[in-house]
Structure 1
Amino acid sequence: MARMPSSAKRPSSPSGPSGPAGPFTVREFQLVLLRRMADHNPDLVEDARRSLGASLADMREANKRWQAMLRSPRARAAASRYRSVLGAPGSVTARTIGDLECEAWQWPLPLWPDLRFEVLLAPNGAVWNEWLVRAPGSPAPELRTLDDLTPWSCVVDEAARAFAPARPLEGTAPTRWGLAFQAPDGEGVRRKVAAEFTWGLLQRTAVGG
């Protein structure tokens, strides 16, 4: 289960704070991820932001700079952009998805030590996917009932495996994914669930009959 480290400290260089003209660092990238999550879980985001020693203005500025990088006519390719911000991947793994071969690049992030930020690259270098996944060797959460589906408790593939069969849902915005499945409530009654993820991390669930 992804939890905020209780003793998280402000990262030092090269992941420390930077001014508007400074390098875009791991710290700023984490603020970008948090900005997307703030719509659903402002309390969790506030705690995480404070652990980075960042203000609301810092988070807004990081997001503004990230969006500017994405939209710039001189924007780098996505894979190059991630390498420039996050450094060399902590791991590079060949992966087969259906009939397609790709590479999975993963980076650790201080905010979520049990997770990795993963980018899937096609053979031509195009980025197919970019989200948070469970770190290799980290125990997956025990997902048995609706009560286990708390914000930030799991990533997309963990929920899909725990409550198979799961059906993908169209995300409500970029960097968001959805899953539809059934899960038992506290009394063992199976309920319809629509789960929403941001950057691959569970944010909220809507429960039907």
Structure 2
Amino acid sequence: MSGMTTPAPFGPLDFQLVLLRRMADHQPGLVEDARQRLGASVGEMREANRRWQAMVHGRGRRGALARYRSVLREPERVERRRIGDLECDALLWPVPLWPDLRFEVLAAEGGAVWNEWLVRAPGAPGPELRTADDLTPWSCTVDEAARAFPPARPMEGSAPTRWRLELTVGEGERVVAEFTWGLLQRVL
């Protein structure tokens, strides 16, 4: 058919737009600024999310690890990790929108993905988290908040890419921190 074009391959820019799309529910202003820094329109962000969802849920879909490798290419770093009695590979990719973060995928033997989220880049300084006021949107990752405010109690998130932690801040005060793709969005 004439007039039809094949879409460009889905790549790292599109993937960043997917991350932003889910974060827009909680932080539309930050997402708008980030989308503009990436030079993408609202329509392009929606289209990237539509294509991602088709890759995740469509017929003939690839496994999660294969999908990440096809979209993000070769990881910047792969390291073997032990979590309890289990071993896995941690694959890390740079995310230009957040230079101090990496997108991390934890994968078992055979490629089954256990977890996928943003983490602090190896060697990058993390935020100083001392009080609830330090818990600002996009300031920290799940792991950083959990270590800064023990005991942290994991709670069920509202979607597969969302996490919630109940944290102890100050003199026994408990708050709930919500994360999307591992990055803090808000504190309740």
Q: TM-score, normalised by structure 1?
A: 0.86
Indicate the SS of the match to 2:109.
coil
The structure whose residues are more often helix, as a share, is 2
Cα distance between partner residues in 2 of 1:96 and 1:85: 26
Cα distance between partner residues in 1 of 2:6 and 2:186: 33
Counterpart in the other structure of 2:73: 87
What amino acid does structure 1 have at the position aligned with 2:179?
F
Identity of aligned residues (%): 68
Alignment pair present for 1:191 and 2:173: yes
Q: CA RMSD in A?
A: 1.0
Report how many residues are paired.
Answer: 184
What amino acid does structure 2 have at the position aligned with 1:112?
W
Cα distance between partner residues in 1 of 2:130 and 2:142: 15
Alignment pair present for 1:134 and 2:116: no
Indicate the SS of the match to 2:126.
coil
1:47 to 33, 58, 77: 33
User: 1:35-93 deviations in whole A, cap 9, x for unaligned?
Assistant: 00001101100000000110100000000000011111100111111010000000000
What amino acid does structure 1 have at the position aligned with 2:84?
G
Gaps spanning 5+ residues in structure 1: where?
Answer: 1-18
Note the 1:28-177 alignment, pairs <5 A.
28-177=14-163
Gaps spanning 5+ residues in structure 2: where?
Answer: none
What amino acid does structure 2 have at the position aligned with 1:145?
T
Indicate the SS of the match to 1:43.
helix
Counterpart in the other structure of 1:203: 185
- Deviation of 1:168 after TM superposition, in Å, equals 0.2
The answer to which structure, 1 or 2, has the higher relative contact order (CA under 8 A, 6+ apart) is 1
What amino acid does structure 2 have at the position aligned with 1:163?
F
Cα distance between partner residues in 2 of 1:162 and 1:39: 26
What amino acid does structure 1 have at the position aligned with 2:186?
R
Q: TM-score, normalised by structure 2?
A: 0.96
Check 1:37–1:20 CA distance in 2 against 1; reply closer, same or farther (3 A cut).
farther
- Deviation of 1:101 after TM superposition, in Å, equals 0.4
Cα distance between partner residues in 2 of 1:202 and 1:108: 18
